[in-house]
């Protein structure tokens, strides 16, 4: 099964207000979502998110999310190939499912399915 490409990248930040200013300047648009727990930008078909403190998933580096049509099938496919589930698929609102896996070197790969 093919992916729909990387369309979402989340960045852990220590100071969301300061990071919001930098990313607004970088991207040239104001955030679409601006909350204390998450700031998100939509630019040229990509979503860039800022997550204070790495969020509940304790991110320590940016995570790129591969968009897939069937997240459970893709998890099964990549774990059969040697990946390990880090964060099981779960709904983050609006019917959006996310999960993370790690490759054999420990790199975190995000998976995202919109229902």
Q: What is the tens place of the pLDDT at every residue in 64-76? A: 999 999 999 999 9
Q: Output the CA torsion 89→94→95→101 (10° steps).
A: -20
Which residue, among 52, 58, 50, 53, has the nearest Cα to 87 in the 3D structure? 58
Contact of 68 with 112, CB cutoff 8 Å: yes
Split at pLDDT 50, 70, 90, the class of 38 is very high
Split at pLDDT 50, 70, 90, the class of 58 is confident
C-alpha span between 50 and 67 (Å, rounded): 18
Q: Report the predicted TM-score, pTM, of the whole model to 2 decimal places.
A: 0.87
Q: Output the CA torsion 76→78→81→87 (10° steps).
A: -90
C-alpha span between 94 and 81 (Å, rounded): 30
User: Is the predicted pLDDT of residue 1 greater than 80, yes or no?
Assistant: no
Q: To 5 degrees, how large is the angle CA 32–CA 100–CA 54? A: 55
User: Is the predicted pLDDT of residue 57 greater than 90, yes or no?
Assistant: no
């Amino acid at each position: 099964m093919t992916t729909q490409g990387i369309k979402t990248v989340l960045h852990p930040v220590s100071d969301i207000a300061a990071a919001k200013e930098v990313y607004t300047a970088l991207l040239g648009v104001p955030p679409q979502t601006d909350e204390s727990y998450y700031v998100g930008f939509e630019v040229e078909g990509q979503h860039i998110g800022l997550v204070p403190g790495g969020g509940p998933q304790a991110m320590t580096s940016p995570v790129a999310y591969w968009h897939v049509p069937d997240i459970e099938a893709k998890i099964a496919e990549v774990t059969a190939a040697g990946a390990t589930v880090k964060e099981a698929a779960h709904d983050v609102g609006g019917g959006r499912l996310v999960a993370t896996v790690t490759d054999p070197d420990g790199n975190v790969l995000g998976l995202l399915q919109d229902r």
